Amino acid sequence: MVAAPASPKACTVTRHPEIQASVIEQCQQGNPAAIHAFVQHHQRLVFAFLGRLLGENAAVEDLAQEVFVRAIRALPRFDVRGTARVSTWLLTIASRLVLDEKRRAPQTSMTLELGYSPSVPSDNPEAIRHRKELGQALSQAVGRLSHEQREAFILAEIHGLSMEELAEITRVAVGTAKARLSRARERLREVLGPLWEEFQ
Amino acid sequence: MTSRWDALWPAREPSEDFALRVVVESVQARARSKSRVRWLFAAIVPSLCLALATGVSFRRHQEDASKRAAILEAQRKETEDRLRRLQSEFEAAVRHERELQLSLANANDEVVRTKLQSELEQQRARMQAAGRSVRSGAGSAVGWVPAAKKASKCSPGDPLCGK
């Protein structure tokens, strides 16, 4: 029996769980153990964002390290009791760092590839193959989007950020953020064709 | 974050020691920043002191220069005044000599003539002295005070008087 391919609910988003305020307070005081815990808690989020935005061939690890170094330097000014989420704040730093990098060394095109084999819970070879094909098609289609559209798609669709958070991170009006996401979806629908329906 | 997106489009995993490397890099960055601040402080403080000292010295120099200029201006005015006074005295002396010469030419009495002659010679001597002072310019004129006309101790008509 062939396992069902990615169903309409396949791409549900689980938001990154927030770290305890007490850990951040310890980080603000320069406690290395707390800083270590802070980085461990958020490293997959930052790697996921940078890896999907820039592709696996880019210097994702160097950029991720720079994101955390900047964040740790700026952490004493972060309001733990405020409304801002640390994960959103880290994604903001990452987004601006990527923009800085792009300004410094502009790239005309980008190829996003699956650098790792998808972890599939099922042992069914057909399901594995289908998911792999789907993942490759998606990553290649996202790689053909403009940087702004790709960023909007990754932040909103994959990281589950709200339009307000997306607008704040990308420093645009909410309307512009919505338009970028809408254009990204439209473009992906064009490129992926029937495969796109499987994500919806 | 574990979403089903990760199963479909897996993202790159951080290396095992990534967090540790970030902690080390942060500590080193903080140390570098402190060191940079210390160097900056060490460079800025002497520069500021030097700039302050130069500024004070320059201001003092400016003040001294303006004082010197004021003194020189006052001296120049004083010299000009003195020169004008000397010129006017000299011109008066020239007029007086002319009057004496005229009187001498018109005098018939020998005693009067002798007296006028003597007076004329004295006047010429004074004029020569005053003329030298005036011609030699303001510099040498400074401090020169025309000799006051001494009261004559000669008895009127004394031919040896003034020689």
- A148 and A180: one domain? yes
CATH number at residue A147: 1.10.10.10
- With 80 as the cut, is the pLDDT of residue B139 above it? no
Mean pLDDT of A54-80: 87
Helix (H) or strand (E) holding A15: none
Is A47 part of a structural domain of the chain? Answer: yes
C-alpha angle A15-A17-A19 in degrees, rounded to nearest 5: 150
| Pair A98, A141 in one domain | no
Count CB-CB contacts under 10 A for residue A170. 20
> Does residue B147 register a pLDDT over 80?
no
- As a residue count, chain A comes to 200
Q: Which of chain B's residues have a Cβ under 8 Å away from the Cβ of A138?
A: 8-9
Average pLDDT of the segment spanning B131-151: 53
Which of A91-95, A191-195, B83-87, B128-132 has the lowest average pLDDT? Answer: B128-132
The values of phi and psi at residue B79, to 5°, are -65, -40
pLDDT beyond 70 at A112: no
Please identify which residue in the block is written with the tokens 């958020």: A42
pLDDT for B148 equals: 52
pTM exceeds cut of 0.80:
no
For the cut 70, the answer to whether the pLDDT of residue B32 exceeds it is yes
Q: Are A45 and B5 in contact (CB under 8 A)?
A: no
Please, which residues 35-74 of chain B have a Cβ atom closer than 8 Å to chain A?
A: none
Residue A129 lies in a domain: yes
Q: Is position A110 within any domain?
A: no
Is there a contact between B26 and A60 if contact means CB atoms under 8 Å apart? no
pLDDT at A200 over 80: no
Whether A100 and A136 share a structural domain: no
Residue A90 is predicted with a pLDDT of 94
Q: Is the pLDDT of residue A104 over 50?
A: yes
Higher pLDDT, B75 or B131: B75
Q: CA dist A92 to A26, A71, A85, A165, B136, Å?
A: 22, 10, 11, 9, 89
Look at A15 and B10 and tell me if their CB atoms are within 8 Å. Answer: no
Q: What is the pLDDT of residues B115-136, one digit of tens each?
A: 888 988 888 887 777 667 656 6
CATH number of A94's domain: 1.10.1740.10
Q: Which structural domain, as residue segments, surrounds residue A143? A: 125-199
Q: Which residues contact B9 (CB under 8 A, 6 or more apart)?
A: A52, A114, A118, A135, A138, A139, A158
Residues A100 and A134 in one domain: no
Q: Does B16 touch chain A (CB under 8 A)?
A: no
**Is residue A193 pLDDT above 90, yes or no?**
no
Tell the burial category of A199 from Cβ atoms under 10 Å away from its Cβ (0-12, 13-18, 19+): buried
For B19, which of A11, A39, A115 is closest by C-beta distance? A39
Q: Which residues contact B19 (CB under 8 A, 6 or more apart)?
A: A36, A39, A40, A43
Interface predicted TM-score of the whole assembly (ipTM), two decimals: 0.72
Residue B4: list chain A partners with CB under 8 A: 6, 10-12
Asked if A199 and A138 touch (Cβ cutoff 8 Å), the reply is yes
Q: What would you measure as the largest C-alpha separation in chain B, in angstroms?
A: 149
Question: Does the pLDDT value for residue B98 go beyond 90?
Answer: no
Domain boundary among A72, A104, A136: A104
Residues A45, A87 contacting (CB under 8 angstroms) = yes
Same structural domain, A97 and A132: no
Q: Is it the case that residue B149 has pLDDT exceeding 50?
A: yes
Count of residues for chain B? 163
pLDDT of residue A194: 79
Contact B26 A68 (CB under 8 A): yes
Percent of chain B with pLDDT over 90: 21
The number of folded domains in chain A is 2
Rg (chain A; Cα; Å): 18
The region that residue A6 occupies, defined by phi over 0 for left and psi between -120 and 50 for alpha, beta otherwise, is beta
Best residue in A15, A16, A27, A43 for a mutation probing chain B (most B CBs within 10 Å): A43
Same domain assignment for residues A144 and A183 = yes
> Residue A193 — left, alpha, or beta (φ > 0 → left; ψ -120 to 50 → alpha)?
left
Q: Which two tokens stand for residue A36?
A: 């270590």
Which residue ranges make up each domain of chain B? 19-141
